[in-house]
Amino acid sequence: MKKVLVTGAAGYIGSHICRVLLNLGYEVVALDNFSRGWRQALELLKSENSSLKVVEADLRQAEIIKKIMLDERPDLVFHFAALCSVNESMHNPYLYFSNNCQGTFNLLEAMRLVGVDKIIFSSTSAVYGEAKSLPIKEDQMSEPVNPYGESKLLIEKSLKWFGQLYGLNYVILRYFNVCGSSSDGYIGDSKKPSQLLVQNAVRGALGLEQFHFTCPHVPTPDGTPIRDYIDVEDLIDAHLTAADYLNNGGQSDIFNLGNGQGYSVREIVETVEKVLDVKLSRQADQTRQGEIAEIYADVSKAKQILNWQAKKSLSDSIVSLVAWYKRYPKGYDY
């Protein structure tokens, strides 16, 4: 594997993997439409490494994507480009099916036409819906309860058919909740406000913005949703491991990515308070829609087949976020 295409490269996770790939010596084609991603993230990386090529394009523009694929002919695609707000998807499902699904269908067709046959897909635990048993395994029936999860499930199904009909080799990685930044605080989550709990709690603890509870009351021990949290650097390590797995002849498959442990919203807030020695407001704000009560991962399959498991603790993620927000308190472009 010498050249890789990264879609959604200017986003939170995409920019992290671009940096790691460049440091490992790969030629990276970074594709983004910059509707949600940040140009400054890629400008920083390009200043470090000239092997980064930035391409501005929208996956919904089928002919343009075909030309890019034909011109670049990557050995493998890391596909991160997607809208990912559960709450937003409940208010605008069309946007999610158009952007996430149609964009991916165009990408897969371009890969087929050019003969690019390997892809690592960024999926989500939202494909499961409410957990039938915990920890949740990859073989649980998928019944999403929001358009975001449904859009990702439709993409998973399309990957299966492109695999069966055209020989596409894929790994689907179902993320649980991602947190943290690069350990040195160089790149991170620049959304303002972030959609992610740990990020928002750290920003609140640092006095960068007011922290609010936006979760619904649910039937858990403390009444707040329970989720599995994984550090972004552990997540990137899993993607590289999955790429090696495919390049060494591994069969197409689906893997959960998480720590295998559930934390409630209140437990996350209390951990941030403990690490930073502060007290956060418990003020409630507008409740987000489409949230489930409790879900955390069974990660035994990734450990057994990919020989991967998360290494960083929740406290590690909080410390890295402090470094990131001290460097960029207002995010990129300031």
Instruction: Single out the catalytic residue among 96, 128, 148, 186.
Output: 148
Q: Active-site residue 328, yes or no?
A: no
Nearest to 229 by CA among 263, 253, 206: 263
Q: So which residues are the catalytic ones?
A: 148
